[in-house]
Amino acid sequence: MSKKHYGVIGHPIGHTLSPFIHTRLLALSGIEGEYGVYDIAPEELDEQFDKTLSKLDGFNATIPHKQAVMRLLTEKDETAELYGSVNTVAFNRHSDGTYTSKGYTTDGIGFETALKNAGIDFGEKVTIIGCGGVGRVFANTCVKNGCRLNILECKAALENAKTFAKTLNERYGSGTAEVFETSEFNAESDLLVNATPIGMFPKTDACAVSDEVISKSKAVFDAVYNPTDTLLVKKARAMGISAISGMTMLVYQAAAAQTIWNGSSFDPKDIEQLAQDCFKELNK
């Protein structure tokens, strides 16, 4: 069997745990492969897709490419079409030297599994901060689990959030989603979700919402995994609120990507152990 080649794209991407995670997952699958990191600026995406990325067997996409890369793909699976973003791309090469590409999103699987393992329920009312690529996945996942949404955005992105909320209301029914400017929101939530990079290393002293908003939440999920515990997670726990970071989600969505690429399956105990090892790796 020939060696497989994968990677992750983002900008700026800095230190990422993706190579550590996927190298372990490849080993657990008995597959010889390598996993690289590609810092690609938005204006270089088209050129690098054909020049570099298409030479891989597949790749993952993170900020800011989850939505932008969709226009370059031959095909998107149903979930990616629904969520309007992809985080996993697979290539299929043909004998004539051409290739096709297909996009998927595995964030929803990782999100649901992480919450379940932490004993956190979606509840009836979920507040999501941000509606970029991962925020849209979270929003659709929550609605499919019977939730109503508050979507928070900064003033500059408010119109984009309103357009997205309109789509959700048309798709799932009037009143499914409401939009608020983050700085003006002050309501209760069964689950508060941060779907922005706010609080990510190195700007670890930032928090996506006010203490008052946190205190009115029954549970908190922060998609950021570096640092291990963001300021949002720390504040919530100090208030006695169940809160988790994005590490377990990161590992489960990576495992789902390996299933897409190689048909791999994993023992949940191996995945949980990998998540714990990721915390150690992050804190080295």
Catalytic residues: 66
3 state SS of 251: helix
> Pairing state of beta strands 88-93 and 58-61?
antiparallel
**Separate counts of helices (H) and strands (E) for the chain:** 10, 12
Task: State the Cα torsion 233-83-155-10 to the nearest 10°.
Answer: 70
Q: Specify whether the CB–CB gap between 133 and 160 falls below 8 A.
A: no
3 state SS of 267: coil
Dihedral-angle region of residue 151 (phi above 0 means left; psi in -120 to 50 means alpha; beta otherwise): beta
